Structure 1
Amino acid sequence: MAGPFRYVTPVEPQRATGRIAQVYAQIAEDFGMARMAVLMTLSPSPEVTAATWAMLRESLLAGAAPRTGKEVVALGVSMANRCPFCVDAHTMLLHATGDHRLAEAIARGDTPADPAHAALLAWAGATGGPVRPGPFPAELAHEYVGTALSFHFINRVASTLLTDGVLPANLQRSRLVRSMGGRVLTRTVRRRLPVGTSLAMVADLPARPEREWAAGTPVGAAFATLEAVAGSGGELLGDGARTAVTDAVEVWDGTPPPMNTAWLDGPVAALPAADRPGARLALLTALAPYRVTDTDVATWRASRTGGRTDEDLVRLCAFGAITATRRVEALITPTEHVTAEDRS
């Protein structure tokens, strides 16, 4: 299929039914786009798609925090995670907020002139080290933290399952095109959306306990669902392989792994040969999704007689992505409420 999709064939909007049709309809209404590549590439798994949309909508699109500040966070996280697709998309969306100078300053690698935006960008781009208070009011923490965690998850699945091209021939790299693309979405981006309206689409899905930083909010409910739904992709791995992935991510300090493969080969070396491709792909998605290759995916698909489905691939990548996202959560929020059982 032409477009940015790698490895999976998405459900096209005109053929969508059930949960996927509901998600696509709300994306068109609330995001102003009939086609949203990141959600489409997840569409072979309706549950993962709906849970991801709920988390994205309730943290970034809805709520009381300024959309400009949350777009700065989305962009800062995407830059730190080396996700060109998301960097380009959210540079355009920052243009859509009307702050064109801010969008281009960040695109050039400059520090924003506004100290508040500079602090948000720095916070979003730094996941390692001790927990630091976020540069935002406590009553808005669930929106800013939720936006950051949304993009730690989304960046990973996007880098694994999409190409870099938001627009044909990478036209989004042009300042003029970025600005024009943002203007098209201005009216939608500047709307104030009601909170919680995505939750009906995931009400029947499993959920983990809500986290303290977002308990009692739509963001908290959405993240609890995303954790459970994406985490269930670990069922595609054997117990040993699943443990190898979670243990390796548990000690990750938030920085990009080295270019050598020792960090990757070590955790999977002791696994049975049939289990290594899945563990390798999940661990790459978690910590270095931009290094996933055609061979990695093809080897994993061939590791089971009869192959693997697109839904299997989405679910496995979602497991790797949420495992890393939960580790980031522990690095940017107080961790006393994150138990070993929560991380399993």
Structure 2
Amino acid sequence: MRATLVQVGLRGLSTVQVRRVRPVRFGAAGGDVARVYRELERDFGVLAPPVALHSPAPDVLAAAWVMLRETLLVPGTVPRAVKEAVSTAVSEGNECPFCVTMHSSMLNDLVGGRDGADRDPAARAAADWARAGASPDTAAAHPVPFPADQAPEIVGTAVVLHYLNRMVNLFLGELPLPPGAPAASMVVVRRVLVHLIKSAERRAPRPGASLDLLPDAPLPGDLGWARGHPAIAGAFARGVAAVELAGRRSAPEEVRELVSAHLSRWDGRPVGVSRAWVEDAVAGLSPGHRATGRLALLTALASYQVDQGVVDAFRAVSPTDRALIDVTAWASLAAARRIGGWARTS
């Protein structure tokens, strides 16, 4: 597919929105980064900043893309409006205004008006299920509003958004606008982006077409909800393996063990406004690993609490953009997998 003039014009505006790391520019991209960028424009409609921000770590970029593509973008048995309702509800719960703006805009356009989830009974039921799924107690008590064969698409969409919300909170602003752009311009920007995304949807992306970006891998046991859908299972198996490798590459083992231990006890609820809990948690780490532990724990459990000071402290020991993406992606996906693990599907 040849890029439109609008898509070409948005390329620079997409990457300039990313903060705290320097994403690969479209014109400078090569190899798998260039391929993902082209596929983003073809299948998503635009060089989406939530995916492009991963470009300093090409394997993590590929992982984020294949998981998002197979769940949200590839047509299946679940209507796109239902997936957008789940995406919006998850993003609201994670306090990710960037993602709320994008997914609610798409949802409202699909159902023909504001408050899209309220206008579509199936979308409303799926959104309620996604909100209840934020903690194991409420997830267990909430009825499942979809048949079992739709679980890979719906749970997969929720897991991907729990992952992306955390990354977006760290690396993007509150609105899908370049720095300095007036908030009033969102009216036009929203209209253009929704048009591009819907145009890409009409081309019906083919299942599994991007899986060869990453090597085959076994599906972890906690992702059992993906079984029965080969493309989604393949995307998550490969994506998780790539992100796990990135975690081992840039996060010390004692940091990964600390985050895993906290997630195993986490009930999905907010940890509170104060960050005293994280200081207590990292006190037992080796001094040289505390900055990494602090960043990883906050990313997993309270991404909205990550500020520039936390990032600067991490960069003092791990200065590369790739390391920053590695650690935050690993922590984000670990939390998203934990939430997906308690999701009810029947």
| TM-score category of the 2 structures, normalised to the smaller one | 0.7 to 0.9
Paired residues of 1:94 and 1:182 also in contact (CA < 8 A)? no
Deviations 1:149-188, CA, capped at 9 Å, x for gaps: 0101111111111122302436478567534542343322
Q: Equivalent residue of 1:213, what SS?
A: helix
Aligned pairs (5 A) from 1:324-339: 324-333=335-344
Q: Which moved more, 1:248-257 or 1:48-57?
A: 248-257
TM-score (norm 2): 0.86
Answer yes or no: is 1:230 the counterpart of 2:243: yes
Say if 1:287 and 1:173 are closer, same or farther in 2 by CA, change over 3 A.
Answer: farther
The one-letter code sitting in structure 2 at the alignment partner of 1:47 is D
- The 2-side partners of 1:308 and 1:224 are apart by 29
Q: Which moved more, 1:51-60 or 1:170-179?
A: 170-179
TM-score (norm 1): 0.86
Match of 1:48 in 2: 60
User: What is the alpha-carbon root mean square deviation over aligned residues?
Assistant: 2.2
Match of 1:146 in 2: 156
Answer yes or no: is 1:241 the counterpart of 2:247: no
Amino-acid identity (%): 35
Q: Equivalent residue of 1:185, what SS?
A: helix
Paired residues of 1:196 and 1:218 also in contact (CA < 8 A)? yes
- Aligned residue-pair number: 322
Answer yes or no: is 1:20 the counterpart of 2:33: yes
The one-letter code sitting in structure 2 at the alignment partner of 1:134 is V
The one-letter code sitting in structure 2 at the alignment partner of 1:212 is G
Aligned pairs (5 A) from 1:128-277: 128=135, 129=137, 130-131=139-140, 132-168=142-178, 169=181, 171=183, 178-179=190-191, 181-202=193-214, 204=215, 206=217, 208-209=219-220, 211-216=223-228, 217-235=230-248, 236-277=250-291
- The 2-side partners of 1:317 and 1:290 are apart by 13
Q: Which has the higher helix share?
A: 2
Q: Which moved more, 1:178-187 or 1:266-275?
A: 178-187
Paired residues of 2:108 and 2:115 also in contact (CA < 8 A)? no
Deviations 1:314-337, CA, capped at 9 Å, x for gaps: 000011101101110122147xxx
Say if 1:10 and 1:72 are closer, same or farther in 2 by CA, change over 3 A.
Answer: same
The one-letter code sitting in structure 2 at the alignment partner of 1:166 is P
Q: Which moved more, 1:129-138 or 1:262-271?
A: 129-138
- The 2-side partners of 1:94 and 1:81 are apart by 18
- The 2-side partners of 1:206 and 1:308 are apart by 30
Match of 1:120 in 2: 126
Deviations 1:229-273, CA, capped at 9 Å, x for gaps: 222333223332221111111111112211122332222111122
Say if 1:284 and 1:22 are closer, same or farther in 2 by CA, change over 3 A.
Answer: same
- The 2-side partners of 1:331 and 1:50 are apart by 26
Say if 1:172 and 1:289 are closer, same or farther in 2 by CA, change over 3 A.
Answer: farther
Aligned pairs (5 A) from 1:67-78: 67-78=80-91
Match of 2:103 in 1: 90
Which runs of 5 or more structure 2 residues have no equivalent in the other structure? 1-11
